[in-house]
């Protein structure tokens, strides 16, 4: 069941051909999100407590190897590598714009589905607010809601196969063999297998590789069905953490930035295969800062975008001075 208050707001925005951000706050956890709309179509969803690990995602997908990372590292700002790397890999011809949009769409569907699944939301509009982060082509709300519902059904089935009635994101898997026989050349499946160590949970592996929970649970179910990994433990999911590990935790886990989390998974770094976790100094080099949340009940007001009010030039009546005559030659 989707949140009717939010869907009604988005449907109304579509009918008005409205541009801006629909801002939501989950009353249970205090988490906040922004659903960006352009002329009525949704093109981005940002969660204040979640930053997609897009550099790690491209590494896990095999689009960036050690040589490629070394070549683009000078162009990556240490505070916004995840935001910059998409444009860079497209400019280099390593992936297509359509493939990049598919990754962005996965993040959007995961985030939007989690927000729509919240029962109690505070909703408001911020007219003309825009973003350039994790964008897709503007899509109709009805289309995206249908996709999130199909995606939820598929995730529920995979979760039931992996964890039964337990929490799939908390499952800890232990490797029992090589994934070469089942990966069929899938870099993502190989990356998930390399990160499986009998200690990390599925959600922690997802955060490490830049996956959504849906992607991670799918990989886990494939490997468990093949007998390559087995379920080692299934602890209770945490109720609090410094940040959300996957977008699907929105409205379920309370993010407390000051909370100490010594077991937080590190994101993938490029090294000679197999890929290894980042060292602390290297991790800081590619980890972008979190967005500044609109907290404390006083949400940040945005200034509507508009053209400066300057009089238009009328070139049909404006007198244009002629250039000075050149002195005659003797």
Task: Dump the DSSP string for 7-65.
Answer: HHHHHHHHHTT--EEEEEEETTT--EEEEEEETTEEEEEEETT----HHHHHHHTTS--
Pure H helices in the chain: 4-15, 54-60, 66-72, 81-91, 97-116, 141-163, 180-183, 187-195, 202-209, 213-225, 280-286
Longest dimension (CA), the chain: 101
Q: What is the mean pLDDT of residues 67-82?
A: 86
In a domain, 318, yes or no: no
Q: For residues 287 and 289, give the distance between their C-alpha atoms in angstroms, rounded to a whole number.
A: 7
| pLDDT average, residue stretch 177-190 | 75
The residue count of the chain comes to 330
Residue 271 lies in a domain: yes
Mean pLDDT of 318-330: 50
Residue 73's pLDDT band (cuts 50, 70, 90): confident
Residue 161 belongs to a domain: yes
Q: What pLDDT score was predicted for residue 296?
A: 36
Within a domain: 31: yes
pLDDT at 178 over 80: no
pLDDT on residue 78: 75
Looking at residue 186, what is its pLDDT? 87
Please report whether residue 295 resides in a domain: no
CA angle 60, 203, 290 (to 5 degrees): 80
Rounded-to-integer distance, Cα 280 and Cα 275, Å: 15
Q: What are the residues facing 269 on neighbouring strands?
A: 276
Alpha-carbon span 210 to 201, nearest angstrom: 14
- Mind listing the pLDDT tens digit for each residue in 241-258? 999 999 999 999 998 877
Domain for residue 219, yes or no? yes
| Mean pLDDT, range 143-155, rounded to an integer | 94
3-state secondary structure of 77: coil
Mean confidence (pLDDT) of the chain? 82
Q: What percent of the chain has pLDDT over 90?
A: 65
Partners of 33 in the β-ladder? 24, 47
- Of the candidate ranges 33-37, 61-65, 127-131, 257-261, the one whose mean pLDDT is the lowest: 257-261
- Which structural domain, as residue segments, surrounds residue 161? 4-282
Res 273: pLDDT: 40
Specify if 228 maps to a domain: yes
**pLDDT band at residue 185 under the 50/70/90 scheme:** confident
Average pLDDT over residues 220-225: 92
**What is the count of structural domains for the chain?**
1
pLDDT reading at 310 higher than 90? no
For residue 268, name the pLDDT band (cuts at 50, 70, 90): low
Q: For the ranges 41-50, 158-167, 224-233, 294-303, which has the lowest average pLDDT? A: 294-303
Q: What average pLDDT score do residues 173-184 get?
A: 75
Domain-embedded: residue 287: no
**127 φ, ψ (degrees, to nearest 5):** -65, 135
């Amino acid at each position: 069941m989707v949140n009717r208050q939010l869907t009604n707001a988005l449907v109304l925005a579509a009918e008005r051909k409205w541009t801006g951000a629909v801002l939501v706050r989950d009353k249970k956890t205090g988490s906040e999100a922004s659903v960006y709309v352009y002329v009525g179509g949704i093109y981005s969803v940002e969660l204040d407590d979640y930053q997609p690990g897009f550099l790690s995602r491209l590494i896990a997908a095999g689009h960036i190897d050690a040589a490629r990372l070394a070549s683009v590292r000078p162009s990556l700002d240490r505070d916004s590598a995840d935001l910059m790397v998409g444009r860079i890999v497209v400019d280099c011809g390593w992936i297509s714009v359509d493939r990049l949009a598919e990754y962005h769409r996965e993040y959007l569907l995961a985030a939007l589905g989690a927000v729509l699944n919240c029962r109690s939301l505070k909703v408001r509009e911020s007219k003309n607010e825009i973003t350039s982060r994790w964008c897709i082509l503007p899509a109709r709300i009805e289309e995206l809601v249908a996709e999130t519902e199909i995606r939820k059904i598929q995730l529920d089935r995979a979760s039931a196969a992996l964890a039964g009635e337990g929490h799939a994101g908390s499952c800890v898997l232990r490797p029992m063999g090589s994934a070469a026989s089942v990966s069929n050349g899938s870099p993502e499946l190989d990356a998930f297998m390399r990160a499986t160590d009998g200690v990390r949970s599925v959600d922690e592996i997802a955060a490490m590789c830049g996956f959504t929970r849906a992607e991670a649970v799918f990989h886990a179910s494939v490997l468990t069905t093949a007998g390559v990994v087995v379920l080692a433990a299934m602890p209770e999911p945490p109720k609090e953490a410094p940040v959300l590990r996957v977008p699907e935790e929105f409205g379920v886990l309370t993010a407390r930035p000051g909370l100490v989390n010594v077991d937080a998974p590190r994101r993938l770094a490029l090294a000679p295969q197999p890929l290894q976790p980042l060292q602390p100094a290297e991790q800081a080099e590619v980890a972008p800062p979190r967005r500044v949340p609109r907290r404390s009940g006083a949400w940040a007001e945005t200034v509507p975008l508009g053209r400066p009010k300057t009089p238009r030039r009328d070139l049909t009546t404006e007198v244009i001075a002629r250039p000075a005559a050149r002195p005659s030659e003797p």
